[in-house]
Structure 1
Amino acid sequence: MANQHTYTFKTLSEIDVFRGKNLNAQVDAFSIWPDYILADTINQQYWERLYSEFPEYQFFLINGEKVVGNGNCVPLHLSKEENAYLPDGGWDWALEKAFLDREKGIEPNALCALQIGLNKEYQGKGISSQLIVCMKNIALSKNFKSFILPIRPNQKSQFPLIPMESYIKWTNEIGLPYDAWIRTHVKNGAEIVRVCERSMYVSGSIREWELWTNLCFQSSGNYILPFLLNPIQVDLTVQNGIYIEPNVWMRYLL
Protein backbone atom coordinates (compact mmCIF):
# COMPACT_ATOMS: atom_id res chain seq x y z
CA MET A 1 0.00 0.00 0.00
CA ALA A 2 1.65 3.24 -1.09
CA ASN A 3 0.55 6.60 0.27
CA GLN A 4 0.82 10.22 -0.80
CA HIS A 5 4.27 10.57 0.75
CA THR A 6 5.54 7.58 -1.27
CA TYR A 7 6.10 5.60 1.92
CA THR A 8 5.49 1.87 1.61
CA PHE A 9 3.51 -0.29 4.02
CA LYS A 10 4.80 -3.84 4.59
CA THR A 11 3.93 -6.48 7.13
CA LEU A 12 6.78 -8.60 8.42
CA SER A 13 5.37 -11.63 6.60
CA GLU A 14 5.85 -9.75 3.30
CA ILE A 15 9.54 -9.09 3.96
CA ASP A 16 12.40 -11.56 3.57
CA VAL A 17 14.01 -12.77 6.77
CA PHE A 18 17.29 -10.84 6.41
CA ARG A 19 15.61 -7.55 5.61
CA GLY A 20 13.11 -8.09 8.39
CA LYS A 21 15.94 -8.36 10.91
CA ASN A 22 17.47 -5.17 9.53
CA LEU A 23 14.18 -3.30 9.90
CA ASN A 24 13.68 -4.63 13.43
CA ALA A 25 17.15 -3.37 14.34
CA GLN A 26 16.18 0.12 13.12
CA VAL A 27 12.99 0.00 15.17
CA ASP A 28 14.95 -1.03 18.27
CA ALA A 29 17.20 1.99 17.76
CA PHE A 30 14.36 4.47 18.19
CA SER A 31 12.61 2.66 21.03
CA ILE A 32 11.74 4.94 23.97
CA TRP A 33 10.99 2.25 26.57
CA PRO A 34 13.08 2.25 29.78
CA ASP A 35 14.24 -1.04 31.27
CA TYR A 36 11.68 -0.86 34.05
CA ILE A 37 8.80 -0.94 31.54
CA LEU A 38 10.37 -3.71 29.46
CA ALA A 39 10.51 -5.79 32.66
CA ASP A 40 6.72 -6.19 32.51
CA THR A 41 6.07 -9.86 33.24
CA ILE A 42 3.89 -10.60 30.20
CA ASN A 43 6.17 -8.63 27.90
CA GLN A 44 9.12 -10.73 29.00
CA GLN A 45 7.19 -13.92 28.31
CA TYR A 46 5.70 -13.19 24.90
CA TRP A 47 7.09 -10.14 23.08
CA GLU A 48 9.83 -11.80 21.04
CA ARG A 49 7.39 -14.47 19.87
CA LEU A 50 5.28 -11.85 18.09
CA TYR A 51 7.71 -11.74 15.17
CA SER A 52 7.75 -15.47 14.55
CA GLU A 53 4.15 -16.39 15.39
CA PHE A 54 2.24 -13.29 14.23
CA PRO A 55 4.41 -11.79 11.45
CA GLU A 56 1.40 -10.62 9.41
CA TYR A 57 0.40 -8.33 12.31
CA GLN A 58 3.79 -6.62 12.74
CA PHE A 59 4.31 -3.90 10.16
CA PHE A 60 6.61 -1.18 8.94
CA LEU A 61 6.16 2.08 7.08
CA ILE A 62 9.26 2.41 4.92
CA ASN A 63 10.96 5.15 2.94
CA GLY A 64 13.49 3.35 0.74
CA GLU A 65 15.47 1.26 3.21
CA LYS A 66 14.67 3.49 6.20
CA VAL A 67 11.90 2.76 8.68
CA VAL A 68 9.57 5.74 9.09
CA GLY A 69 7.37 4.06 11.66
CA ASN A 70 6.18 0.65 12.81
CA GLY A 71 3.35 -1.03 14.61
CA ASN A 72 2.73 -4.18 16.61
CA CYS A 73 -0.68 -5.84 16.75
CA VAL A 74 -2.16 -9.16 17.77
CA PRO A 75 -5.30 -11.02 16.72
CA LEU A 76 -7.58 -12.33 19.44
CA HIS A 77 -11.11 -13.54 20.01
CA LEU A 78 -13.50 -11.28 21.92
CA SER A 79 -16.57 -12.85 23.45
CA LYS A 80 -19.71 -10.71 23.62
CA GLU A 81 -18.98 -10.05 27.27
CA GLU A 82 -15.34 -9.08 26.64
CA ASN A 83 -16.33 -6.85 23.74
CA ALA A 84 -18.95 -5.11 25.89
CA TYR A 85 -16.60 -4.67 28.85
CA LEU A 86 -12.96 -4.75 27.83
CA PRO A 87 -10.95 -6.35 30.66
CA ASP A 88 -9.02 -4.43 33.27
CA GLY A 89 -5.85 -6.31 32.32
CA GLY A 90 -5.46 -4.15 29.21
CA TRP A 91 -2.13 -4.52 27.42
CA ASP A 92 -0.96 -7.59 29.37
CA TRP A 93 -4.31 -9.31 28.95
CA ALA A 94 -4.43 -8.72 25.19
CA LEU A 95 -0.86 -9.89 24.51
CA GLU A 96 -1.26 -13.06 26.55
CA LYS A 97 -4.75 -13.81 25.22
CA ALA A 98 -3.54 -13.69 21.62
CA PHE A 99 -1.12 -16.53 22.29
CA LEU A 100 -3.54 -18.53 24.47
CA ASP A 101 -6.24 -18.25 21.78
CA ARG A 102 -3.75 -19.44 19.18
CA GLU A 103 -2.72 -22.42 21.31
CA LYS A 104 -6.39 -23.36 21.79
CA GLY A 105 -7.15 -23.01 18.07
CA ILE A 106 -9.72 -20.25 18.70
CA GLU A 107 -10.49 -18.19 15.60
CA PRO A 108 -9.72 -14.47 16.14
CA ASN A 109 -12.38 -11.85 15.48
CA ALA A 110 -10.61 -8.71 16.68
CA LEU A 111 -7.35 -6.82 16.25
CA CYS A 112 -5.60 -5.28 19.23
CA ALA A 113 -2.84 -2.73 18.70
CA LEU A 114 0.02 -2.98 21.19
CA GLN A 115 2.45 -0.30 20.10
CA ILE A 116 3.23 2.31 17.49
CA GLY A 117 6.82 3.42 17.00
CA LEU A 118 7.92 6.54 15.17
CA ASN A 119 11.33 7.47 13.81
CA LYS A 120 12.30 10.82 15.40
CA GLU A 121 13.33 12.14 11.98
CA TYR A 122 9.70 11.92 10.85
CA GLN A 123 7.91 13.37 13.87
CA GLY A 124 5.39 16.13 13.21
CA LYS A 125 4.58 14.84 9.71
CA GLY A 126 1.30 13.05 10.44
CA ILE A 127 2.94 9.62 10.42
CA SER A 128 1.06 8.43 13.52
CA SER A 129 -2.25 8.86 11.72
CA GLN A 130 -0.88 6.90 8.75
CA LEU A 131 0.17 4.07 11.07
CA ILE A 132 -3.34 3.99 12.53
CA VAL A 133 -4.72 3.64 8.99
CA CYS A 134 -2.29 0.75 8.40
CA MET A 135 -3.67 -1.06 11.44
CA LYS A 136 -7.26 -0.42 10.37
CA ASN A 137 -6.42 -1.93 7.01
CA ILE A 138 -4.98 -5.05 8.65
CA ALA A 139 -8.18 -5.49 10.66
CA LEU A 140 -10.35 -4.97 7.58
CA SER A 141 -8.26 -7.39 5.49
CA LYS A 142 -8.93 -10.09 8.10
CA ASN A 143 -12.66 -9.27 8.25
CA PHE A 144 -12.39 -8.59 11.97
CA LYS A 145 -15.35 -7.01 13.72
CA SER A 146 -13.39 -5.01 16.28
CA PHE A 147 -10.22 -2.94 16.45
CA ILE A 148 -9.21 -2.11 20.02
CA LEU A 149 -6.22 -0.42 21.66
CA PRO A 150 -5.07 -0.19 25.29
CA ILE A 151 -3.30 3.11 24.72
CA ARG A 152 -0.67 4.74 26.91
CA PRO A 153 -1.51 8.47 27.17
CA ASN A 154 1.85 10.04 26.43
CA GLN A 155 1.50 13.13 28.66
CA LYS A 156 0.14 11.34 31.72
CA SER A 157 3.71 10.84 33.00
CA GLN A 158 3.77 14.59 33.71
CA PHE A 159 0.92 14.06 36.19
CA PRO A 160 1.65 10.74 37.93
CA LEU A 161 -0.45 11.56 41.01
CA ILE A 162 -3.64 12.26 39.05
CA PRO A 163 -5.93 9.20 38.69
CA MET A 164 -6.30 8.09 35.09
CA GLU A 165 -10.10 8.28 35.41
CA SER A 166 -9.75 12.01 36.04
CA TYR A 167 -6.99 12.58 33.50
CA ILE A 168 -8.94 11.21 30.53
CA LYS A 169 -11.63 13.83 31.16
CA TRP A 170 -9.21 16.72 30.73
CA THR A 171 -9.75 18.82 27.60
CA ASN A 172 -7.86 21.49 25.70
CA GLU A 173 -9.08 24.96 24.77
CA ILE A 174 -11.29 23.66 21.93
CA GLY A 175 -12.83 20.78 23.86
CA LEU A 176 -10.71 17.91 22.52
CA PRO A 177 -8.85 15.55 24.87
CA TYR A 178 -5.92 17.25 26.59
CA ASP A 179 -3.58 14.31 26.04
CA ALA A 180 -1.99 14.39 22.59
CA TRP A 181 -2.11 10.63 22.02
CA ILE A 182 -5.73 10.28 23.12
CA ARG A 183 -6.51 13.32 20.94
CA THR A 184 -4.82 11.75 17.90
CA HIS A 185 -6.98 8.66 18.17
CA VAL A 186 -10.18 10.63 18.76
CA LYS A 187 -9.44 12.78 15.69
CA ASN A 188 -8.97 9.57 13.70
CA GLY A 189 -12.35 8.23 14.77
CA ALA A 190 -11.72 6.24 17.96
CA GLU A 191 -13.85 6.37 21.09
CA ILE A 192 -12.70 6.13 24.69
CA VAL A 193 -14.15 2.97 26.22
CA ARG A 194 -12.76 2.82 29.76
CA VAL A 195 -9.62 2.86 31.87
CA CYS A 196 -7.83 -0.47 32.28
CA GLU A 197 -6.24 -0.01 35.70
CA ARG A 198 -3.90 -3.02 35.60
CA SER A 199 -2.66 -2.87 32.03
CA MET A 200 1.01 -3.52 32.77
CA TYR A 201 2.62 -5.07 35.84
CA VAL A 202 6.27 -4.90 36.84
CA SER A 203 7.59 -6.52 39.99
CA GLY A 204 11.26 -6.47 40.88
CA SER A 205 13.62 -6.71 43.78
CA ILE A 206 15.06 -3.49 45.21
CA ARG A 207 18.37 -4.43 43.60
CA GLU A 208 16.68 -4.80 40.20
CA TRP A 209 14.96 -1.43 40.51
CA GLU A 210 18.28 0.17 41.46
CA LEU A 211 19.94 -1.36 38.40
CA TRP A 212 17.05 -0.28 36.13
CA THR A 213 16.98 3.30 37.42
CA ASN A 214 20.48 4.09 38.76
CA LEU A 215 18.75 5.25 41.94
CA CYS A 216 18.73 3.99 45.51
CA PHE A 217 15.64 3.11 47.53
CA GLN A 218 16.29 3.28 51.28
CA SER A 219 12.75 3.89 52.54
CA SER A 220 9.46 2.19 51.85
CA GLY A 221 6.92 4.32 50.05
CA ASN A 222 5.81 5.57 46.66
CA TYR A 223 8.40 6.87 44.19
CA ILE A 224 7.88 8.92 41.04
CA LEU A 225 10.10 7.90 38.14
CA PRO A 226 10.55 9.33 34.64
CA PHE A 227 8.16 8.02 31.98
CA LEU A 228 5.90 6.18 34.42
CA LEU A 229 2.20 7.02 34.66
CA ASN A 230 1.87 6.07 38.35
CA PRO A 231 4.34 5.97 41.24
CA ILE A 232 6.09 2.69 42.01
CA GLN A 233 5.36 1.09 45.38
CA VAL A 234 8.51 0.16 47.30
CA ASP A 235 8.34 -2.14 50.32
CA LEU A 236 11.68 -2.70 52.01
CA THR A 237 10.22 -5.29 54.39
CA VAL A 238 9.98 -7.68 51.45
CA GLN A 239 12.76 -6.02 49.39
CA ASN A 240 10.42 -5.51 46.46
CA GLY A 241 9.07 -2.75 44.22
CA ILE A 242 5.87 -2.93 42.20
CA TYR A 243 4.66 -0.77 39.34
CA ILE A 244 1.08 -1.11 38.08
CA GLU A 245 0.31 0.93 34.98
CA PRO A 246 -3.16 2.06 33.93
CA ASN A 247 -3.91 2.46 30.23
CA VAL A 248 -7.01 3.54 28.34
CA TRP A 249 -9.09 1.23 26.20
CA MET A 250 -10.08 2.86 22.91
CA ARG A 251 -12.02 1.39 20.02
CA TYR A 252 -12.33 2.07 16.29
CA LEU A 253 -15.51 1.21 14.45
CA LEU A 254 -14.70 -0.72 11.27
Structure 2
Amino acid sequence: MLSRLAPLARFQFAFVHVGPQGQEIIAGLGRSIPFYWPELETVSTAGWRPELLDSLPAQGYGAILTAGVQQSQGDGPAPNALSALSVTVQPAYRRTGLAELIIDTMKRAASLEGFSVLIAPLRPTQKNRFPDVPMEHYLHWMTESGLPFDPWLRKHVRLGGQVAKIATRSMVVSGTREEWKSWVGIDLHQEMQRAPDPGKMKTLPIRIPGGLVPVEYQPEDEMGVYVEPNIWIYYRL
Protein backbone atom coordinates (compact mmCIF):
# COMPACT_ATOMS: atom_id res chain seq x y z
CA MET A 1 0.00 0.00 0.00
CA LEU A 2 2.71 2.50 0.95
CA SER A 3 4.45 2.12 -2.41
CA ARG A 4 1.23 3.27 -4.10
CA LEU A 5 1.23 6.59 -2.26
CA ALA A 6 3.44 8.98 -4.22
CA PRO A 7 4.92 10.86 -1.22
CA LEU A 8 5.87 7.56 0.45
CA ALA A 9 6.96 5.38 -2.46
CA ARG A 10 10.63 6.39 -2.35
CA PHE A 11 10.88 5.21 1.27
CA GLN A 12 10.00 1.61 0.35
CA PHE A 13 12.98 -0.55 -0.60
CA ALA A 14 13.33 -3.88 -2.39
CA PHE A 15 16.65 -5.72 -2.55
CA VAL A 16 16.92 -8.03 -5.53
CA HIS A 17 19.39 -10.86 -6.11
CA VAL A 18 20.10 -11.69 -9.73
CA GLY A 19 20.74 -15.40 -10.18
CA PRO A 20 23.19 -17.05 -12.59
CA GLN A 21 20.48 -17.39 -15.24
CA GLY A 22 19.44 -13.77 -14.87
CA GLN A 23 16.43 -14.56 -12.73
CA GLU A 24 15.51 -11.89 -10.20
CA ILE A 25 14.75 -12.91 -6.62
CA ILE A 26 13.51 -10.50 -3.98
CA ALA A 27 15.93 -11.15 -1.14
CA GLY A 28 14.75 -8.46 1.26
CA LEU A 29 12.30 -5.64 1.79
CA GLY A 30 12.44 -2.50 3.88
CA ARG A 31 9.40 -0.37 4.65
CA SER A 32 9.66 3.06 6.23
CA ILE A 33 7.59 6.20 6.56
CA PRO A 34 8.44 9.89 7.06
CA PHE A 35 6.46 11.82 9.65
CA TYR A 36 6.40 15.10 11.51
CA TRP A 37 7.63 14.83 15.11
CA PRO A 38 6.75 18.18 16.71
CA GLU A 39 8.88 17.68 19.80
CA LEU A 40 11.94 17.24 17.56
CA GLU A 41 11.76 20.95 16.72
CA THR A 42 13.09 21.73 20.21
CA VAL A 43 16.31 19.76 19.75
CA SER A 44 18.28 22.61 18.19
CA THR A 45 17.76 24.76 21.26
CA ALA A 46 17.39 22.28 24.10
CA GLY A 47 19.31 19.23 22.92
CA TRP A 48 18.26 15.60 23.19
CA ARG A 49 16.32 15.69 26.43
CA PRO A 50 14.61 12.63 27.99
CA GLU A 51 11.24 14.29 27.38
CA LEU A 52 11.87 14.16 23.64
CA LEU A 53 12.22 10.39 23.55
CA ASP A 54 9.37 9.97 26.00
CA SER A 55 7.11 11.79 23.54
CA LEU A 56 7.27 8.83 21.16
CA PRO A 57 3.79 7.25 21.15
CA ALA A 58 3.00 4.25 23.31
CA GLN A 59 0.99 2.95 20.34
CA GLY A 60 4.24 2.48 18.43
CA TYR A 61 3.81 0.86 15.03
CA GLY A 62 0.11 1.63 14.69
CA ALA A 63 0.47 5.27 15.69
CA ILE A 64 3.44 6.04 13.48
CA LEU A 65 1.92 4.32 10.44
CA THR A 66 -1.36 6.17 10.85
CA ALA A 67 0.35 9.52 11.43
CA GLY A 68 2.70 9.13 8.48
CA VAL A 69 -0.05 8.19 6.03
CA GLN A 70 -2.39 10.95 7.19
CA GLN A 71 0.35 13.57 7.13
CA SER A 72 1.42 12.55 3.63
CA GLN A 73 -2.08 13.30 2.37
CA GLY A 74 -2.49 16.64 4.14
CA ASP A 75 -1.10 20.15 4.09
CA GLY A 76 0.50 20.16 7.54
CA PRO A 77 4.16 20.61 8.51
CA ALA A 78 6.75 18.83 6.41
CA PRO A 79 8.16 15.57 7.82
CA ASN A 80 11.27 15.90 9.96
CA ALA A 81 11.96 12.25 10.86
CA LEU A 82 11.86 8.78 9.32
CA SER A 83 10.52 5.66 11.00
CA ALA A 84 11.40 2.15 9.92
CA LEU A 85 8.30 -0.04 9.82
CA SER A 86 9.69 -3.41 8.86
CA VAL A 87 12.82 -5.17 7.69
CA THR A 88 12.21 -8.51 5.98
CA VAL A 89 14.94 -10.85 4.77
CA GLN A 90 14.22 -14.15 3.03
CA PRO A 91 15.65 -17.13 4.98
CA ALA A 92 18.20 -17.97 2.29
CA TYR A 93 19.72 -14.49 2.59
CA ARG A 94 19.94 -14.19 6.35
CA ARG A 95 23.36 -13.73 7.95
CA THR A 96 24.65 -12.20 4.73
CA GLY A 97 24.65 -8.61 5.95
CA LEU A 98 21.43 -7.81 4.10
CA ALA A 99 19.55 -6.71 7.22
CA GLU A 100 22.37 -4.31 8.01
CA LEU A 101 22.26 -3.01 4.43
CA ILE A 102 18.51 -2.36 4.67
CA ILE A 103 18.92 -0.44 7.91
CA ASP A 104 21.82 1.55 6.47
CA THR A 105 19.74 2.34 3.38
CA MET A 106 17.01 3.78 5.58
CA LYS A 107 19.54 5.85 7.49
CA ARG A 108 20.95 7.25 4.25
CA ALA A 109 17.46 7.96 2.92
CA ALA A 110 16.67 9.90 6.08
CA SER A 111 19.91 11.88 5.82
CA LEU A 112 19.22 12.74 2.18
CA GLU A 113 15.90 14.24 3.26
CA GLY A 114 17.70 16.36 5.85
CA PHE A 115 16.26 14.37 8.76
CA SER A 116 18.34 14.08 11.93
CA VAL A 117 16.86 10.84 13.22
CA LEU A 118 15.68 7.39 12.20
CA ILE A 119 13.41 5.61 14.65
CA ALA A 120 11.89 2.13 14.71
CA PRO A 121 9.21 0.36 16.77
CA LEU A 122 11.28 -2.78 17.08
CA ARG A 123 9.68 -6.21 17.54
CA PRO A 124 12.22 -8.37 19.42
CA THR A 125 12.63 -11.62 17.51
CA GLN A 126 13.12 -13.92 20.52
CA LYS A 127 10.52 -12.41 22.86
CA ASN A 128 7.93 -14.96 21.69
CA ARG A 129 9.94 -17.61 23.53
CA PHE A 130 9.25 -15.80 26.79
CA PRO A 131 5.67 -14.47 26.48
CA ASP A 132 5.15 -14.28 30.24
CA VAL A 133 8.23 -12.12 30.86
CA PRO A 134 7.36 -8.40 30.98
CA MET A 135 8.99 -6.43 28.19
CA GLU A 136 10.64 -4.07 30.69
CA HIS A 137 12.48 -7.10 32.11
CA TYR A 138 13.27 -8.71 28.77
CA LEU A 139 14.70 -5.43 27.49
CA HIS A 140 17.41 -5.56 30.15
CA TRP A 141 18.53 -9.14 29.56
CA MET A 142 22.16 -8.98 28.47
CA THR A 143 24.79 -11.34 27.12
CA GLU A 144 28.13 -11.82 28.85
CA SER A 145 29.57 -9.19 26.51
CA GLY A 146 27.08 -6.61 27.79
CA LEU A 147 24.97 -6.49 24.64
CA PRO A 148 21.22 -7.16 24.53
CA PHE A 149 20.16 -10.79 24.70
CA ASP A 150 17.66 -10.40 21.87
CA PRO A 151 19.47 -10.81 18.52
CA TRP A 152 17.42 -8.21 16.62
CA LEU A 153 17.80 -5.64 19.36
CA ARG A 154 21.49 -6.53 19.61
CA LYS A 155 21.97 -5.95 15.88
CA HIS A 156 20.45 -2.47 16.11
CA VAL A 157 22.63 -1.57 19.09
CA ARG A 158 25.73 -2.72 17.24
CA LEU A 159 24.73 -0.50 14.32
CA GLY A 160 24.43 2.54 16.57
CA GLY A 161 20.80 2.36 17.61
CA GLN A 162 19.79 3.35 21.13
CA VAL A 163 16.78 2.35 23.20
CA ALA A 164 14.30 5.17 23.74
CA LYS A 165 11.39 3.52 25.57
CA ILE A 166 8.87 0.70 25.40
CA ALA A 167 5.91 1.17 23.09
CA THR A 168 3.44 -0.53 25.40
CA ARG A 169 0.58 -0.81 22.89
CA SER A 170 2.37 -1.05 19.56
CA MET A 171 -0.15 -3.47 18.10
CA VAL A 172 -3.63 -4.22 19.44
CA VAL A 173 -5.75 -7.01 17.98
CA SER A 174 -9.22 -7.83 19.28
CA GLY A 175 -11.29 -10.76 18.10
CA THR A 176 -13.96 -13.28 18.95
CA ARG A 177 -13.25 -16.84 19.98
CA GLU A 178 -13.99 -17.97 16.40
CA GLU A 179 -11.76 -15.33 14.88
CA TRP A 180 -8.81 -16.25 17.06
CA LYS A 181 -9.26 -19.90 16.14
CA SER A 182 -9.11 -19.00 12.46
CA TRP A 183 -6.08 -16.75 13.00
CA VAL A 184 -3.86 -18.93 15.21
CA GLY A 185 -5.53 -22.35 15.23
CA ILE A 186 -6.30 -22.26 18.95
CA ASP A 187 -9.71 -22.34 20.65
CA LEU A 188 -9.19 -19.85 23.46
CA HIS A 189 -12.22 -21.13 25.36
CA GLN A 190 -10.90 -24.68 25.36
CA GLU A 191 -7.49 -23.45 26.47
CA MET A 192 -9.18 -21.59 29.32
CA GLN A 193 -10.65 -24.84 30.65
CA ARG A 194 -7.13 -26.11 31.41
CA ALA A 195 -6.53 -23.36 33.96
CA PRO A 196 -7.22 -24.01 37.65
CA ASP A 197 -10.63 -22.60 38.62
CA PRO A 198 -11.25 -20.97 35.23
CA GLY A 199 -14.76 -19.98 36.26
CA LYS A 200 -13.38 -17.55 38.83
CA MET A 201 -11.40 -15.53 36.30
CA LYS A 202 -12.78 -12.54 34.38
CA THR A 203 -9.79 -12.63 32.04
CA LEU A 204 -7.26 -15.35 31.40
CA PRO A 205 -3.86 -15.02 29.67
CA ILE A 206 -3.49 -17.58 26.89
CA ARG A 207 -0.32 -18.10 24.88
CA ILE A 208 -0.53 -18.09 21.09
CA PRO A 209 2.05 -19.14 18.47
CA GLY A 210 4.49 -16.32 17.80
CA GLY A 211 2.92 -14.00 20.34
CA LEU A 212 5.23 -11.74 22.32
CA VAL A 213 2.65 -11.71 25.11
CA PRO A 214 -0.43 -13.84 25.83
CA VAL A 215 -3.89 -13.02 24.56
CA GLU A 216 -6.15 -11.79 27.36
CA TYR A 217 -9.29 -13.88 26.98
CA GLN A 218 -12.62 -12.77 28.43
CA PRO A 219 -14.76 -15.92 28.73
CA GLU A 220 -17.99 -14.11 29.50
CA ASP A 221 -17.87 -12.28 26.16
CA GLU A 222 -15.78 -14.93 24.37
CA MET A 223 -13.43 -12.16 23.25
CA GLY A 224 -9.65 -12.12 23.15
CA VAL A 225 -7.44 -9.03 23.12
CA TYR A 226 -3.76 -9.08 22.17
CA VAL A 227 -1.75 -6.02 23.18
CA GLU A 228 1.80 -6.28 21.87
CA PRO A 229 4.61 -4.12 23.25
CA ASN A 230 7.55 -3.16 21.05
CA ILE A 231 10.75 -1.23 21.77
CA TRP A 232 11.38 2.23 20.36
CA ILE A 233 14.89 2.45 18.90
CA TYR A 234 16.44 5.64 17.56
CA TYR A 235 19.47 6.52 15.47
CA ARG A 236 20.87 10.04 15.56
CA LEU A 237 22.09 10.94 12.08
Question: Normalization by structure 2: what TM-score?
Answer: 0.83
| Superimposed CA distance per residue, residues 133-177 of structure 1 (whole angstroms, 9 cap, x where no aligned partner) | 111111111111221000001011111111111111110111111
Which has the larger displacement, 60-69 or 189-198?
60-69
Measured in 1, the distance between the counterparts of 2:80 and 2:114 equals 8
Gaps of 5+ in 2: 19-23, 41-50, 193-202
Q: 1:95 aligns with which of 52, 62, 65?
A: 65
- Name the residue aligned to 2:205: 222
- SS of the residue 1:136 aligns to: helix
Note the 1:27-46 alignment, pairs <5 A.
Answer: none
C-alpha distance in 1 between matches for 2:4 and 2:52: 27
**Deviation of residue 185 (structure 1)?**
0.2
Query: SS of 1:230's equivalent?
Result: coil
Mean Cα deviation higher: 102-111 or 157-166: 102-111
Residue of structure 2 equivalent to 1:156:
127
- Counterpart contact for 2:186–2:208, Cα < 8 Å: no
Q: How many residue pairs align between the two structures?
A: 206
Alignment-derived partner of residue 15 in structure 2: 61
**Aligned partners of 1:114 and 1:224: how far apart in 2?**
25
Which residue identity does 2:230 align to in structure 1?
A: N
TM-score, normalization: structure 1?
0.78
Corresponding position of 2:47: none
SS at match of 2:115: coil
SS at match of 1:104: coil
Residue 119 of structure 1, CA deviation: 1.1
1:19-43 CA-to-partner distances (Å, cap 9, x unmatched) read xxxxxxxxxxxxxxxxxxxxxxxxx
Please tell me whether Structure 1 or Structure 2 has the larger radius of gyration of its CA atoms. Answer: 2
Residue 244 of structure 1 pairs with residue 214 of structure 2: no
List structure 1 runs of 4+ shifted beyond 6 angstroms.
none
Q: Percent identity?
A: 33
Q: Provide Cα deviations, 1:66-121, integer angstroms capped at 9, x if missing partner.
A: 11211000110001178432111110110000012123322111100010000111
In the TM superposition, 1:55-134 aligns within 5 A as 55-64=9-18, 65-80=24-39, 83-85=52-54, 86-106=56-76, 107-134=78-105
Ranges in structure 1 where 5+ consecutive residues have no aligned partner: 1-47
Quote the Cα distance in structure 1 between the aligned partners of 2:25 and 2:225: 38
Within a 5 Å distance, the mapping from 1:167-178 to structure 2 comes to 167-178=138-149
Partner of 1:189: 160
